[in-house]
Amino acid sequence: MGPKKKIRRIGVLTGGGDCPGLNAVIRAVTAHSILNHKIEVFGIRDGYSGLINKKLKKLSLEDVSGILPRGGTILGTSNRDNPFKYPADTSEIEKKYIDVSKRVIKTVEYNELDAVITIGGDGTQAIANRLYEECSIPVVGIPKTIDNDLGGTDVTFGFDTALTIATNSIDKIHSTAESHHRIMVIEVMGRYAGWIALHAGIAGGGDVILIPELPFTIEKIGEKINERLSRGKRFSLIVVAEGAKIKGEDVVAARRVSDPNDPLRLGGISTVVGNKIEDLTGIESRYTILGHVQRGGSPTAFDRILATRFGFHSVEAVVRGEFGYMVGLKGKDIKTTPIKEAIAEPRRVKPDSDLIKTARSVGTSFGT
Ligand code: F6P
């Protein structure tokens, strides 16, 4: 914990992929700082790019009025601008990456920021932690991601909205599956964690749920579909996480890109599963990739409340001088955890967890 000093100005940034609830946090941070602590708030544009390239804007109560239910982020975001691995301005064909963290220090000093609140997932928080440890920048983190794969919190904001969208989509696809006697494969996001697939699969009544934590076989999925057929059920719903993989095989990527932070764009496992399962069972199959629909639009009430609580408590952590920490939901309370601990390893579904057992108890197969 840093020495307590009077906080006059703070910066706030949103990093990584956008996510429902970001604006609700920005509103809460700004309103609570101005109304209750007389702290000035500066919005940092486009994630760490704003700190590297000095793109800041003072936020007023008016700026954050009406943004609570809006998707996206009024500040803009970026999942490319890592100050410790920043693309050098060079004409060479092969990209070179350099450390520009000194530029971040300069921006913080020039704008007299007493703290920076970093709203983001594991990538954003890993950078925040380095800025804190290596550059002495006073940071407080707020956990955001639809993937729900960050430690230090029971749940990240954005997850509930993504889950609700995915569940509603499964419900819509259910009717076509039933009318046409088809196998419908629904691919959800989540990167290398199966939280969205598991929760939406249970909520939407998926007959098969495929998650990265439990590599599957096509034969086992076929067994489940045939078992349903033997009970007169001529359709099946398969919910698959984008990071799920066939036992012994690699994840399916839509594209490989030259981004050192995230070289794989996941996507397409539903096509593989749909085609293979049609070949195996002879039942017509279709697939739907939900994609960024899960990240857009208005946050659910749960996410708006969680985001507002995170905003309030992050400002309180700043005022207490609790730098290098991240706020999080633990049970019913908001608590802080060192960012270092929160990012130590991704939070993934435990194969022997109660939710997996619950899904199995109603006959759901995981293709294992
Ligand atoms: O981390 C959130 C997330 O939506 C993942 O679920 C997904 O794999 C990834 O971001 C997609 O990122 P992008 O918008 O950069 O394609």
Whether the CB of 77 sits within 6 Å of ligand 1: no
Percentage of residues in the chain having pLDDT higher than 70: 99
Domain extent listing, the chain: 9-157+299-331, 160-295+350-361
Q: Tens digit of pLDDT for each residue in 292-304?
A: 999 999 999 999 9
Q: Tens digit of pLDDT for each residue in 199-227?
A: 999 999 999 999 999 999 999 999 999 99
Confidence of residue 95 (pLDDT cuts 50, 70, 90): confident
Query: How much is the pLDDT for 3?
Result: 55
Residue 250 bears catalytic tag: no
Residue 84: is it exposed, middle or buried by C-beta count within 10 angstroms (0-12/13-18/19+)?
middle
CA triplet 99, 101, 107: central angle to 5 degrees? Answer: 145
- Please tell me which residue in 46, 147, 149, 303 is annotated as part of the active site: 147
How many angstroms does the Cα of residue 124 sit away from the middle of ligand 1? Answer: 13
9-157+299-331 has CATH 3.40.50.720 classification: no
**CA atoms within a 13 Å half-sphere pointing along the CA-CB vector of 334:** 21
How many angstroms does the Cα of residue 4 sit away from the middle of ligand 1? Answer: 37
Confidence of residue 23 (pLDDT cuts 50, 70, 90): very high
Roughly what angle, to the nearest 10 degrees, separates helices 159-180 and 301-320?
160
Is residue 235 within a helix (H) or strand (E), and if so which, with residue range? none
Is a pLDDT exceeding 60 seen at residue 162?
A: yes
| Fold topology of 160-295+350-361 | Rossmann fold (3.40.50)
Query: How much is the pLDDT for 78?
Result: 94
Give the residue whose CA is nearest to atom 13 of ligand 1. 17
Do the first three CATH levels of 9-157+299-331 and 160-295+350-361 match, i.e. the same topology?
yes
How many angstroms does the Cα of residue 193 sit away from the middle of ligand 1? Answer: 12
Q: Tens digit of pLDDT for each residue in 1-16?
A: 555 789 999 999 999 9
Q: Which of 33, 50, 45 is nearest to 114 (CA)?
A: 33
The chain-wide mean pLDDT, for the chain, equals 96
Q: Which atom of ligand 1 is nearest to the CA of 146?
A: 2
Query: How much is the pLDDT for 259?
Result: 79
Confidence of residue 331 (pLDDT cuts 50, 70, 90): very high
Whether the CB of 188 sits within 6 Å of ligand 1: no
Work out whether strand 56-59 and strand 285-289 pair parallel, antiparallel, or are unpaired: unpaired
